[in-house]
Structure 1
Amino acid sequence: MGRADARRAQAQESRRAGKSGGIRRLFTWKKLLGAFFGIVLLGMGAFGALYLYVDVPAANAMAERQSNVYKYSDGTVLARTGKVNRQIIDLAEVPKEVQHAFVAAENKSFYKDQGVDLKGTTRALFNTVSGKGKQGGSTITQQYVKNYYLTQDPTVSRKLQELVISLKVDQKQSKDEILAGYINTAYYGRGASGIQAAAQAYYGVDAKDLNVSQGAYLASVLQAPSQYDWNSATPTGKKLVKERWAYTLRNMVEMKWLSPSEKAGLEFPAPQKPKPAQGLEGQRGYLVEAANRELEKQGVTEQDREAGGWTFTLTVDKKRQKALEKSVDEQLESKLDREGSKIDAGVQAGATSVDPKTGKVVALYGGEDYIKHYISNATRQDYQPASTFKPLVLASALENESTTQSGNLIGLNTVYDGTSKRPVVGSDTPFNPQNEDGRSYGPISVQKAMNSSVNSVFAQMIVDVTPAKAKETALALGVPDKNFPERPAVSLGTMNASTWDMAGAYATLDNHGRKVTPHIVQSAEHRDRTVTPEKPKREQAISRASADTVTKALTGVVDAGSGSAANTSAYDAAGKTGTSEDNKSAWFAGYTPELTTVVALFGEGDGGRKQVSLTGTANSGRANGGGFPARIWADYTLGALGGGSDKTFDLQDVERGEVPPPPTPSDTPSEEPTESEEPTPSDTPSESPSETTPSETPTTPAPPATTPPPTTTPPTTPEIPPLPGDGDGRPGERPGGNGAPPQ
């Protein structure tokens, strides 16, 4: 090698050595350590800035959304409403061992950590990657924050927010508050959010009644709700959830929350089969609707209910409710051809059953199905109660100590003229209603007139009492002031009322005249608010003597009158039938010493837009209250009373309550009624009754109410044709008949 080559080699070696030394000078340990701490400080600064920048937000919309739960009087669930099946409960309502099961399953260090567990997150990631089973790496606090404040989006920004908010929440809230938030917001499968809904969905109990084994299962199912639901899980899913359940219990033993012997005695708690959500189908919707109407009056508004979280306990007795539904199905629905018969398709049944001592609605029937027919037939007020109003006319006569036109006190023995189309005496509004089939009874006692529902007698009686006083008594008993004309025709029940209204009036009679107001809400509870329903006033609406006398009269209707279909030796009963004009509605209102129930049928046509006749229902001829309504009433009452009752009416101070001696031949109808399936006594006129106006049809005054008609044929009153367009079906009062403008 020449000198020149040696110099070049030396130069190259120098350059290499200089370059290496430069790298060493650049990456010294001090510089590397400084860079590391610089990055750490920068990260800490960034995290500190993030910590200051990120605030704990308000709860997300879904986290606080809850359902409302409606329960029967025995506490069993009737229905749930709302878009989310959740009821937020206090941690104190969850057994301590169940609380510990959730901590053992998800975050053993929960009570000691600061809300974030980096070690747990790393371990969970390693276990997932290595195939040892999926385990949540987040703490309970982090999962609560994700559920309550954030979203489920798996983004870096959301994860950073979760870490920061978790630290802040851990500082601001107690561990119990965080645990309560976690178990109330978590999704457990089966449409259940929160532990209360989950306890009901999987085990049919409230959260407070869960045992440790069940709690361990619910804590385990959180990891994979769809995979771990025992009733839909694959064999692998069942194996995994069992392992998770056992893992939870082992952790509880390790944390000394469960003894080894207690653990050894536990069996895997296989949950019940899933049940469909208890919505508003069938009768549930009608019950919920009735409760909501009442809740509005008590200050629980629709807005309050939409917010959710309420538990409403109703007065409805589950067994009696089922008995009522069964009776309607067997006594009516099974006989109808809703698809093949236009008449049957429009038949609507409604009923309200009340405890006469308390006013509690123990059963209610609103229609064939709330989903198919939204109008509740139990509470609708667009039909007439017909002759079920006659006992209220008698009650007013007794209460006001009214007298007949000849000055005799009105009581059960009082004799009236039962001649069909007999013009009433003493009224500014002429009225002469026809009895059913035009049947005349001649002199007849009030008791017998009630038994046979004689229209002419009660038309005269309301004149004797005055329609104004009869209305006053009816309102005091609970009949609504709706389309309530103060005219003689109202004696035939031409106002509007519901089965609910009439059940209240009859329950008041049953309760010896003390006012009974039907109500269906027993309690309304929310974790932030409790509403105590106002107790109905129990003042004396009418005297006991008046009420008990009416009850005495109504026992005759059941024993020997139009209500004979309700007669049985299994219980003591009183009641009254009713059928409105053209058979558009048919009623039976009755009671025993323990139960008051009103059943009605309504003829509904044109999609519910008009009222039609019930005649021909189930091919049974002319409908009336002594038919289907009375049979439903009797069948239900027998079931509701457990097969019968030995209690009898405690009637005191019955005024003129003795039934008179057997009638003379003149007391009976001129023609013997023919036997048929339907009871023969009158409920309603068979055609529109006629009225006269004094200016155009002078008549000879009828004999006094208590005097038998003369043996010679009395002058007849020219008939006035039925009023045109009398669409509501009531026995029409002729427009202008008393100088008043047409109605």
Structure 2
Amino acid sequence: MAKGQRQAKTRGKKTKNILNYPRSGVHGWTRFLPSIRLLVVGGLSIVILLCVLFSIGYATTDVPEPNQEATGQTSTIYYNDGKTPIGQYKVEDRKSIRIDEISEPMQKAAVAAEDTSFYENRGISIKGLSRAVVGVATNQYAGGGSTITQQYVKNFYLTNEHSFDRKVKEMFISLKIDQQQSKDDILANYLNTIYLGRRSYGIEVASQNYFDKSAKDLDVSESALLAAMIQRPGAADPSDNPEVYQDRFDYVVKSMVDEGFITEEQAAKIEMPKVEKQNKESSLSGQKGYMWDFVRREALRKLDITEAQLDRGGYNITTTFDEDRMKQAEKAIKNLPSDQPEGLQTGLVSIDPDNGGIEAFYGGKNYLDQAFNASTQSHVQAGSTFKPFALVAGLENGVRLTDTYPGTSPTTLNNDGTPWELSNFGNTSYGPVTLLKATQSSINTAYAALNVQVGPDKTVDVAQRAGLSGNCTDKEMESGDTGGCSIGLTPNPSNVLGTPSVKPIDMASAYATFAANGVHHDTHSIEKVTQGADDTEVYKGETKGKRVFDKAVGAETSFALQQVINGGSGSYAQQLGRPAAGKTGTTNNNTAAWFSGYTPNLATSVVL
């Protein structure tokens, strides 16, 4: 065959159609109908493409870090029994618990209400997911259809955004979570993240708020109601309008029967449970607010954490506060004479000398009315309660309680070449007195002479070693930030008469050092801090203490201060019926009155 003929023959042939579309050999419009081969190939191609896309999506979607909001847990502070709560630090009220701390009826009610295939599915529901995707695409998504795992993923890792992208991420993460966590863990995590009204995040807080019991004690009817509230937690408060949840409650109970969780006979006896009324009284009223604020400041400092970390950290803080002694302190202040000057600020602090723990204080009438704490933030001239610091300074420098000093009033002393004239209270004149008598009767002239003898700087040194804060700097005075310092604690001869202004908590700390025979313990209100469901200890208060003056000096100091109780200005304290020591004090013009005293197991300072 000639070359030209071969080329012509080749050009005359039609290229073969691999998919046979439009179909060859078929005439009319039917040639455009797909052949079986085309349908098979097309279907397989779509399946392969979807598998590839699914594999890529699964491989490239990582489980993200949990939401800060979802992981945040309420921190709770307790009295020293570790059980009785004082208050909470929180952004959202949440407390996570383990699955064995959630009652079986509650677990079953949640499954019956939200995902009956929970124990069989692999984290997603194809039917529910398809409905959600269509709803998002048509902007008609009304929620629902998600598995418990998907709801947990949305609450814990994602957001409530209604978008196709978020829904796809939710699917892939749910599949991975189902592989990584057990069903019990997923259910517990889900129940720990749901919102149930009354600012309650998680089943434990909701159980406490609605039924005043732990989640492990929820019965079937209580569980059914909480499960019924999951979809619409803010629709109403069930204590006021239980009928709002009646239909959903009935549905949950029926679903529990259908799933074999309870029998029809049991279901017939289940009624809407009684719900506790919401307690709207502020948890910060009265003294609790002062404790809440003081512990918060200490926790931030000692744990070295931010406020956000404290509010979301799920810490369990056991304080040194004794509930009975707090009540007794408040009662004692309330029983003061009714003719008190207007605006009187009363402070009281009691400290355990063995460890420095604050067992009680009185911050004011009501924290909500005045947040300023009269016991830990106010400064009051110390008056004669300052004299024991000069006593210790003298004993450390060779002075004895039998040494004599001038008790005549008025008396003129030589202060570095400058005459210094002073008088006793009421201008009472005693003549020469021993240091012991000067302590018992709080004789100004004798103690001024002692202070000049040993040096005012040594008196200041003893005061700070015993527990008083250092003197405020000029910068602190100018800024008004005097919460961590004393005012006027300077080495001048008149300091022994109580011219420095100190905080009641510092004075109580100093007298606790006397009670501990010269061992000073850092004043604190936090005994220990644990975190998480397992109560892992993350902090323990320092209670070791440091010896700041000799035992013999401590014993002589206490002996002298006992005479104040036995026959001096503090004799009222004999009503304790046990050995006690202490010192009274008044300020210029009687604007404030002090008593600081102690027994072997408690030191207390009161000022009014």
TM-score, normalised relative to structure 1: 0.65
Q: Name 1:287's counterpart in structure 2.
A: 291
Q: Describe how 1:326-341 pairs up with structure 2 within 5 A.
A: 326-331=331-336
Q: Describe how 1:556-571 pairs up with structure 2 within 5 A.
A: 556-568=563-575
1:189 CA drift (Å): 1.0
1:469-524 Cα offsets, whole Å, 9 max, x none, are 33343333222232432232121123342211111121222233333432100112
Q: Name 2:274's counterpart in structure 1.
A: 270
Residue type of the partner of 2:353?
A: P
User: Residues of 1 paired with 2:452 and 2:158: CA distance?
Assistant: 73
1:22 CA drift (Å): 5.0
Q: Describe how 1:3-402 pairs up with structure 2 within 5 A.
A: 26-27=32-33, 30=36, 34=40, 50-51=57-58, 54-74=61-81, 75-91=83-99, 94=102, 98-99=106-107, 101-118=109-126, 136-205=144-213, 207=215, 217-227=225-235, 229-237=237-245, 239-240=246-247, 242-243=249-250, 246-247=253-254, 250=257, 254=260, 270-276=274-280, 279-302=283-306, 304-305=309-310, 307-331=312-336, 344-345=342-343, 347-380=344-377, 382-402=379-399
User: Residues of 2 paired with 1:262 and 1:480: CA distance?
Assistant: 67
1:325-344 Cα offsets, whole Å, 9 max, x none, are 33323427x655xxxxxx62
Provide the secondary structure at the position in 1 that maps to 2:405: strand
User: Residues of 1 paired with 2:531 and 2:427: CA distance?
Assistant: 60
**Maintained 8 Å contact 1:416/1:444:** yes
User: Residues of 2 paired with 1:245 and 1:293: CA distance?
Assistant: 46
Change in 2 beyond 3 A, CA 1:475/1:27: same
User: Residues of 2 paired with 1:187 and 1:262: CA distance?
Assistant: 28
1:582 CA drift (Å): 4.0
Provide the secondary structure at the position in 2 that maps to 1:114: coil
**Maintained 8 Å contact 1:515/1:537:** no
1:567-591 Cα offsets, whole Å, 9 max, x none, are 5255554332222234454322122
User: Residues of 1 paired with 2:104 and 2:530: CA distance?
Assistant: 23
Q: Name 1:657's counterpart in structure 2.
A: none
User: Residues of 1 paired with 2:576 and 2:302: CA distance?
Assistant: 42
Q: Which moved more, 1:484-493 or 1:291-300?
A: 291-300
**Maintained 8 Å contact 2:318/2:527:** yes
TM-score, normalised relative to structure 2: 0.78
1:152 CA drift (Å): 2.0
1:570-622 Cα offsets, whole Å, 9 max, x none, are 55543322222344543221223443221223xxxxxxxxxxxxxxxxxxxxx
**Maintained 8 Å contact 1:356/1:511:** yes
**Maintained 8 Å contact 1:381/1:496:** no
Change in 2 beyond 3 A, CA 1:147/1:368: same
Residue type of the partner of 2:197?
A: G
Change in 2 beyond 3 A, CA 1:36/1:305: same
Residue type of the partner of 1:314?
A: T
1:56-112 Cα offsets, whole Å, 9 max, x none, are 443334223343322222322222223222234455654666545544543343233
User: Residues of 2 paired with 1:137 and 1:583: CA distance?
Assistant: 75
Q: Name 1:606's counterpart in structure 2.
A: none
1:120 CA drift (Å): 6.5
Change in 2 beyond 3 A, CA 1:182/1:545: same
Q: Name 1:646's counterpart in structure 2.
A: none
Change in 2 beyond 3 A, CA 1:64/1:430: farther
User: Residues of 2 paired with 1:266 and 1:473: CA distance?
Assistant: 71
**Maintained 8 Å contact 1:380/1:497:** no
Q: Describe how 1:423-434 pairs up with structure 2 within 5 A.
A: 423-424=412-413, 430-434=419-423
More helix by share: 2
Residue type of the partner of 1:476?
A: R
Change in 2 beyond 3 A, CA 1:546/1:49: closer
Provide the secondary structure at the position in 1 that maps to 2:445: helix
Matching of residue 498 in structure 1 with residue 498 in structure 2: no
Out of 542, 546, 558, the residue aligned to residue 535 of structure 1 is 542
Q: Which moved more, 1:556-565 or 1:498-507?
A: 556-565
Provide the secondary structure at the position in 2 that maps to 1:110: coil
Residue type of the partner of 1:475?
A: Q
1:147 CA drift (Å): 0.9
Q: Which moved more, 1:53-62 or 1:490-499?
A: 53-62
1:262 CA drift (Å): 9.8
Provide the secondary structure at the position in 2 that maps to 1:554: helix
Out of 449, 463, 486, the residue aligned to residue 491 of structure 2 is 486
Q: Name 1:417's counterpart in structure 2.
A: 406
Q: Name 2:439's counterpart in structure 1.
A: 450
Provide the secondary structure at the position in 2 that maps to 1:226: coil
Q: Name 2:594's counterpart in structure 1.
A: 587
Provide the secondary structure at the position in 2 that maps to 1:362: strand
1:389 CA drift (Å): 1.4
Residue type of the partner of 2:298?
A: E
1:115 CA drift (Å): 0.4
Q: Name 2:10's counterpart in structure 1.
A: none
Q: Name 2:484's counterpart in structure 1.
A: none
User: Residues of 2 paired with 1:567 and 1:259: CA distance?
Assistant: 70
Matching of residue 551 in structure 1 with residue 542 in structure 2: no
1:30-68 Cα offsets, whole Å, 9 max, x none, are 489657777666666665565556544433342233433
Q: Name 1:6's counterpart in structure 2.
A: none
Q: Name 2:523's counterpart in structure 1.
A: 518
Provide the secondary structure at the position in 1 that maps to 2:345: strand
User: Residues of 2 paired with 1:261 and 1:550: CA distance?
Assistant: 78
1:360 CA drift (Å): 1.7
Aligned-residue Cα RMSD (Å) equals 4.0
Gaps of 5+ in 1: 1-19, 126-133, 337-342, 403-408, 602-743
1:192 CA drift (Å): 1.1
Change in 2 beyond 3 A, CA 1:259/1:358: farther
Change in 2 beyond 3 A, CA 1:490/1:267: farther
Change in 2 beyond 3 A, CA 1:307/1:529: farther
Provide the secondary structure at the position in 2 that maps to 1:320: helix
User: Residues of 2 paired with 1:219 and 1:394: CA distance?
Assistant: 69
1:410 CA drift (Å): 2.3
Gaps of 5+ in 2: 1-25, 134-141, 472-487
User: Residues of 2 paired with 1:260 and 1:324: CA distance?
Assistant: 57
Change in 2 beyond 3 A, CA 1:54/1:562: same
Change in 2 beyond 3 A, CA 1:428/1:531: farther
**Maintained 8 Å contact 1:478/1:504:** yes
Change in 2 beyond 3 A, CA 1:219/1:32: farther
1:366 CA drift (Å): 2.2
Change in 2 beyond 3 A, CA 1:461/1:169: same
**Maintained 8 Å contact 2:253/2:267:** no
Change in 2 beyond 3 A, CA 1:560/1:410: closer
Provide the secondary structure at the position in 1 that maps to 2:121: coil
User: Residues of 1 paired with 2:437 and 2:507: CA distance?
Assistant: 23
Change in 2 beyond 3 A, CA 1:330/1:105: farther
**Maintained 8 Å contact 1:510/1:592:** yes
Out of 449, 458, 466, the residue aligned to residue 477 of structure 1 is 466
Instruction: State percent identity of aligned pairs.
Output: 36
**Maintained 8 Å contact 1:65/1:308:** yes
Provide the secondary structure at the position in 1 that maps to 2:583: strand
1:163-193 Cα offsets, whole Å, 9 max, x none, are 2332233234443443343122210111011
Provide the secondary structure at the position in 2 that maps to 1:456: helix
User: Residues of 2 paired with 1:244 and 1:444: CA distance?
Assistant: 89
**Maintained 8 Å contact 1:121/1:137:** yes
Provide the secondary structure at the position in 2 that maps to 1:531: strand
Provide the secondary structure at the position in 2 that maps to 1:358: coil
Provide the secondary structure at the position in 1 that maps to 2:523: coil
Number of residues of Structure 1 aligned to a counterpart in Structure 2: 554
**Maintained 8 Å contact 1:353/1:361:** yes
1:122 CA drift (Å): 9.0
Provide the secondary structure at the position in 1 that maps to 2:95: coil
User: Residues of 2 paired with 1:98 and 1:188: CA distance?
Assistant: 14
Q: Which moved more, 1:71-80 or 1:291-300?
A: 291-300
